[in-house]
Structure 1
Amino acid sequence: MSATRVFVARLAGCTVFDPAGDRVGKVRDVLVVYRTGKPPRVVGLIVEIPGKRRVFVSIGRVTSIGAGQIITTGLINVRRFEQRGGEVRVIAELFGRRVVFRATGEEATIEDVAIEEQGPGEWQVSQLFVRRPKTTASPFVKGPTTFATWNELREEQEIGEAQSAEQLIATYADLKPADLANTLLDLPRDRMIEVAEELSDDRLADVLEEMPETDQVQILAQLDDDRAADVLDQMQPDDAADLIAQLPEDRGEHLLELMEPEEAEDVRMLLRFDPETAGGLMTTEPIILSADATVAEALASIRRSELAPALAAGVCITLPPYESPTGRFLGMVHFQRMLRYPPHERLGTLLDQSLDPVGVRTSAAEVSRILASYNLVQVPVVDEQHRLLGVVTIDDVLDYLLPDDWRSIDENDELPASEQRLGSNGRRAGRGTSSPQ
C-alpha cells in the first residue's frame, strides 16, 4: 500500500483504476462493520462506475491508496450495491454523528474518520476528527477540533434521534445534482429524508428533478407545505408540473396557491396539457429576445451559469411581450450562428428560416422525430395564435423515451458491455467470492 492511514473525506471522489491503468469509477463512500471492544473494520468501498451505478469493491481488492487515486485488482461485481445488516457507511452515516468523550463526558461531532492498514487487505478505523461545541455565541466561530481514537469515545445517538446531516452535505457539496440524487437514493430512507430536509431550496429542487417520481413524492410528503412550495418555485416548471400531478389533488392545489404567482401560473398551464404532447413536455422558460436585440445581448443571456446547456443552445425571437405566452413567434437563432457574426449584428437578420415550431398538441413521438431528423437540441412550441409558449429540449424527450425506472435499472444484462468489468479469467468477480487476486 502507498498509504497506511487515510482520511475518508479525502477519498470521496477519488478515481479508482484497475492494474492496467483503466478508470473503473469514483469512490463515493467507505463501508465498515462494528466489532465488540475493537474499532470498526473496513470491509470495502462504494464505487460509482459508468452509468451512475454504485457497486461494492472489497477492501481486499484494493492494492494501493495514494496521490488521489486508488488501484484495484480489477475484479469487481457490477451488480448494484445493497447495504447489508450491520454495515455502516462512513460518510453517509458516521459523519455528523454525536459522540461523547468517555473520560470527561464532553460532547463532540464526528467530522472525519481515518482508516489505517493493519496488514494486507486489513483496514480499520484508527482515528476520528471531531469538533467540540462552540465556546462563544458568535456565528462566525466554530468549536475547537481534536483527534481521538475510537475507544476514547462512545456514541451518544439515541434511538429515533436524527443524525446531523450538515457534514454529509458539506462533503457532497461539489457533486452534480444527478450524482447527489443517486447518493441520496442509496441511503436508508430515514437518512435520505433527513439529508433532503437539510438541503437548500434550490439545491433540493435540482436534486428532485433528477429523481424518479415516486421518490420525489416521498420526499415532498415529509416537507411542510410552505417549504414544499418554496422548493417547487425553484424547480423547472415542467418538472414541478410532473411532480404536482403525482400528488393528491387537494395538496397539489394547495401548494400551487402557496407558490409564487408567476411560477404557479406556468405550472397550471402545463398541467392543462396531455403529458405525451409537446405542451406536456415543454419548459416555459426559454431565452426570449426581440428582433432588435444584438448578438452581444444574446451571448450575454446564454452565458448564465444556471442555464441548462440545451436551453443555451438557441434564442427565441418574438414580438412583445417577451414572456410566454409571448407575442407572435418569429424564429430562432442558434448559438453557433451567433458566433459567426459581429457583436452588433441584429438577431432579426439571423433567424433560422428552416425550423418550424410545433403546436402544443403535437405528439411526443413526433417531437422526438423532429429533434432526431434535424439534429436539434430544442424545438419551439406555439399556440393557435402562433405565440411562443415554450420549448421542448432534448432532455425532455429523453425522459419521455426512457422507461420510467431507468434510474434504478440494476440487472447486469441491461448494462452496456463496456460497463461490465471482467476478471482476467473472464468471470465476473462477485461480492464475497474468492476470485484470485
Structure 2
Amino acid sequence: MISAVAIALTASGTTAMAAPTAGNPRPAALAPVAADAPRGTLVSVERLRTLTAREVAAELAGDKAGAWDTGAVRYGLTTYRIVYRTVDPHGRPTTASGLLALPRNGERRLRTVSFTHGTELSKTDVASVSTSVWDQAPALTHASAGFATVLPDYLGLGLGPGFHPWMDVPSETTAALDMLRASRAVARSQGRELRRDVLVTGFSQGASAALGLARSLQDGDDDFFRLRAVAPISGAYSFRDAELPALLAGQTEPKASVIYSALTLVAFNRPHHLYDTPAQVFRAPYDRTIGGLLDGTHTGREVEAGTPDTIDALLTPRGRAMLAHPTARLAAALRTADGVCTDWTPRAPIRLYYADADEQAVPANTAHCHTALRARGVHAPTINLGTPDYGGSRHLGSQQAGTAAVVRWFRSLG
C-alpha cells in the first residue's frame, strides 16, 4: 500500500511538530530482555498521561488545524509508551515502540482497536513520542469511546533503531502484531485484559498496514488474537496501477508527489537494490542529499525545503522510467504492497473509507481495492467521506472524518 501519508502534515507543517518530549524520561526498563526473546516481549513501558473525559474532549476540539469530532468521548484514559521485541524485514531480532491507550471506564475486559498511522518523515512524529493532536487523536478518540487502543510506530520510527522500511507491508504487519502482544502484557499489569477480537483500522500508509495486520490475524498468526473487523482509510492500495501513475501525471499535490517519488526510490532501494548510485535516478544536487534528508532525522519542513517543486526537477529519465514502468525487483516489491487487496479473502466485516478528490491518495486506489475484493466474493462497501478539510488538506481531513466514522461503526459491532 503505499502512500499517501501524513506528508502534508509533516511537509507543509499544518500541524505543530512535536520534538521528542525534552526532559521526559525514556521508558523505564523492565528486567533485562535477551535479544532472542519471543516477539512481543516487553522491553520497557512508561505511563505518559492520564486524562479525564473532559480533558480528552477539550484536546480534540482545540486542534488549531481543525477540531476533531468528540461525539464518541465517554471516558478518561491513560496512555503508555511501550518498547518491545519484534523482527526486522529479514526476520532478525530488533525492537520497536508504540503507544497504548486504556480507557478509564471500570471494565476489566476491553475491546481492542489497532490503529496504524500514515507516513511520517521524522522519527519523532509518532504517537509514542509526539504530543501533537494529529498524532494523538486516533488514540484519544477510540480509547475515550471505551476501546483499548494500540498504535504501533512501525520499525525505525519512535524509539526504534535504524531506518524505517517505508511501505513494507510485511514488517508493518509483524510490528503491529507484536505491538498487540506487548500491549496485552501491559494491560495485564494494570489488572485489565484485552479481548481476543481485534478491530483494525489505519490511515494512508497505515491503511495498507491495517489490511496486512487483518490478513495476519485471520490467518491465525497469533494464538490469541483474531480479526473482528477492518476499516482502512484513504489507502494507496494500488501503488503500481493507481498511485504511481497519478503522481507522475500531476494528478496529486506537487510537493507531495515529489516527496513520495523520492521515498519510493530511496526506501525501496535499501532492501531491494534498485540502483547502484543515487545519481542514476536523482538529478544533481539531490543525488547527494536526498538519502540523508529521508533518514528519519529531518522534519517535514526540512524535507520540503530540500526537495524541488516538480518530479522532473528531481528525477533523471531513468528514475522516472523506473517509477512509470516498474520491472524486476521494484515490480516484485510493489506486488507485495498491492497484495493487501488481491492476495486474500477477508471473512470479517470490512469497509473502505475515502475522500473525494484526495490530493494524495487518489480515490482510484480504493476503487481498485473494492474491485479486487469483489472479484473474490467479498462485500466491502466503500464509504465516501465527502470533502473533509484539515489544515488545507483533503487527505488529512479524511483521517479526521474517517476516525469519527470508524469509531461509530466499531461501537455498533458490539
Q: TM-score range by the shorter chain?
A: under 0.3
TM-score, length-scaled by structure 1: 0.27
Greater RCO (Cα-Cα under 8 Å, separation 6 or more):
2
Larger Rg: 1
- Considering fraction of residues, name the structure with more strand: 1
- Considering fraction of residues, name the structure with more helix: 2
TM-score, length-scaled by structure 2: 0.28
